[in-house]
Structure 1
Amino acid sequence: MSALFSLQGKTIVITGGAGLLGSEFTRVCIQHGARVVIVELHEEKAKSLIASVRKEIKTAEILFVKCDITKEKDIQNVLIKTIREYKNIDVLINNAYPRNAHYGRNMEDVTYEDFCNNLNMHAGGYFLMTKKVIEVMRKQKKGNIINIASIYGILGPDFRIYKNTPMTMPIEYAAIKGAIVNMTKYFSTYAASYGIRVNSISPGGIFTDQPASFVKKYCERVPLGRMAKTKDIVGGVIYLASDASSYITGQNLMIDGGLSVW
């Protein structure tokens, strides 16, 4: 059974691979035997993560490539360096979270230009990365793509839980994550004949020291009674990245403590 979930010998490219979720994905993929390519804009974060991982796992095969996923030349550089180093790409995890300086405002304060800019950067970046990686995987006649979406790509937000906090659910986020869920379905049927699987994961709210009033209200809406931890998401990633999910494509795995079943 353990072999079914093994990532031994697989080359996994992780965008945003040194971020909140990405760093967990990087660690657990390496722990399960994968070679990992961290695709990041933040060089110091990536180097710090690599040093930490290599301290824990001396034999870790890990490569960092600086990349802006909205720039085709940067993505091409990722592909060239990955193929040169590891010969192929088995799995792409689209996890980057690009956004501009105005992201996260209340809906009334979001300009058309900022809305479009954030949508283009995030959903557009996932499109571009997926498109270019499919070109590589098509030649291999196999591949696996996992897109990190969100419950808010499926569900409408309950704005009552944000009351009396500086937080909100950005309109851009809902539009972006909804687009990612549906792009996943599109790419899954488009690429199926090339032996490529495409799925998405939609995490629920992840605890990052949010205001106590928000956490309380959020947890009251979750059947399991708590927010997610980053470690809660990695099991779904291992499952979808491994051969255990070899007959699964076009699906959106909700990891939300049951919030979406109400």
Structure 2
Amino acid sequence: MNQMLKDKKIVVAGAGGLLGANVVKSILLAGGDVVAMDISLEHLKTRLSSVDVDINNAHLIMCELDITNSEALTRFWQQAEGITGAVNCTYPRTNSYGAKFFDVTLDSFNENVSIHLGSSFLFAQQCAAYFVDKELPFSLVNISSIYGVIAPKFSVYDNTSMTMPVEYAAIKSATIHLNRYVASYINDSRFRVNSVSPGGILDGQPEVFLDAYCKNTHGTGMLNVEEITGTIVYLLSDLSRFVTGQNIIVDDGFSI
């Protein structure tokens, strides 16, 4: 990725997740500085180390923060300095998340949409407030999904215990429009909001699912997480200076 993010300082929320940790790694490799944020500092250190990120890197700052905590997140952005972009890789959910459609209760649906979509709203709001205060170019990247764009292909889950949660579809589709709302509201070329919609990411899924999924792509099937991060780095860089309010799909043709 060369030095695409030289002189950039990026906040990565949810940096202790599978995608978040690799986003941190890719930003550092592209010459950027990172503020890596996660709900557990110890988990964050372990995850970053597992993807070969040097946690003593001078270009890396780690902090413990719960993105669903309005007071803590607002305080973070009020105290921040020199930030040029942010990536929200968080995935907050309850223990009841992931049930099949007819087993989802209204309370569970409401709570999961509230904490995930609500925290995405809060994060975007505070990034926008930071920009208005500092008036320095800023790029926010949210993570949506192919299932925020198209209806689920439920046949790929046949013969597995897996499903595509209804809450996920509602949250990820709303995320795309939230981006447009925030970009339009701020209405300044220096403040950009976009999303990346990955297809399936390899994470120990059963072989029967991987085979069925692959048949719906152009041959690659599920993607390695590293194959998503290049698009995120592009959106954080000056190469995408006038790209805003957009959703970029990375799925090897699954959605077409």
Report the Cα offset of residue 76 of structure 1: 2.4
Match of 1:71 among 64, 69, 81: 69
Report the Cα offset of residue 107 of structure 1: 0.7
What does residue range 150-165 of structure 1 map to in structure 2 within 5 Å? 150-165=145-160
Match of 1:11 in 2: 9
Contact persistence 1:30–1:60 (CA under 8 A): no
Matched residues in 2 for 1:49 and 1:229: separation?
A: 16
Match of 1:128 in 2: 122
Check if 1:100 corresponds to 2:87. Answer: no
Match of 1:36 in 2: 34
Report the Cα offset of residue 134 of structure 1: 0.9
In structure 2, the CA distance between the partners of 1:50 and 1:160, relative to structure 1 (3 Å rule), is closer
User: Which shows bigger deviation, 132-141 or 98-107?
Assistant: 132-141
Aligned alpha-carbon RMSD (Å): 1.7
Check if 1:227 corresponds to 2:219. Answer: no
Contact persistence 1:14–1:22 (CA under 8 A): yes
Corresponding letter in the other structure for 1:211: P
Could you tell me which runs of 5 or more consecutive residues in structure 1 were left unpaired when the two chains were aligned.
Answer: none
Match of 1:254 in 2: 249
Contact persistence 1:21–1:230 (CA under 8 A): yes
Contact persistence 2:34–2:60 (CA under 8 A): yes
Match of 2:53 in 1: 53
Contact persistence 1:89–1:137 (CA under 8 A): no
User: Could you give the per-residue CA deviations for residues 119-144 of structure 1, whole angstroms, max 9, x where no partner exists?
Assistant: 01111101001101111111222211
**Greater share of residues in helix:** 1
TM-score with structure 2 setting the length = 0.93
Contact persistence 2:189–2:242 (CA under 8 A): no
Matched residues in 2 for 1:65 and 1:54: separation?
A: 15
Matched residues in 2 for 1:176 and 1:168: separation?
A: 16
Corresponding letter in the other structure for 1:246: R
Structure 1 residue runs of 4+, over 6 Å off? none
Q: Secondary structure at the match of 1:193?
A: coil
Report the Cα offset of residue 2 of structure 1: 4.9
Contact persistence 2:113–2:170 (CA under 8 A): yes
User: Could you give the per-residue CA deviations for residues 179-226 of structure 1, whole angstroms, max 9, x where no partner exists?
Assistant: 101101111211232620110000001111211111111000001332
Match of 1:89 among 66, 83, 94: 83
Matched residues in 2 for 1:112 and 1:138: separation?
A: 37
Report the Cα offset of residue 244 of structure 1: 0.5
User: Could you give the per-residue CA deviations for residues 165-184 of structure 1, whole angstroms, max 9, x where no partner exists?
Assistant: 11000000000000101101
Matched residues in 1 for 2:229 and 2:58: separation?
A: 18
Matched residues in 1 for 2:139 and 2:146: separation?
A: 22
User: Which shows bigger deviation, 182-191 or 40-49?
Assistant: 40-49
TM-score with structure 1 setting the length = 0.91
Contact persistence 2:148–2:169 (CA under 8 A): yes
Contact persistence 1:53–1:60 (CA under 8 A): no
Matched residues in 1 for 2:58 and 2:19: separation?
A: 19
Match of 2:238 in 1: 243
How many percent of aligned residue pairs carry the same amino acid? 35
User: Which shows bigger deviation, 114-123 or 62-71?
Assistant: 62-71
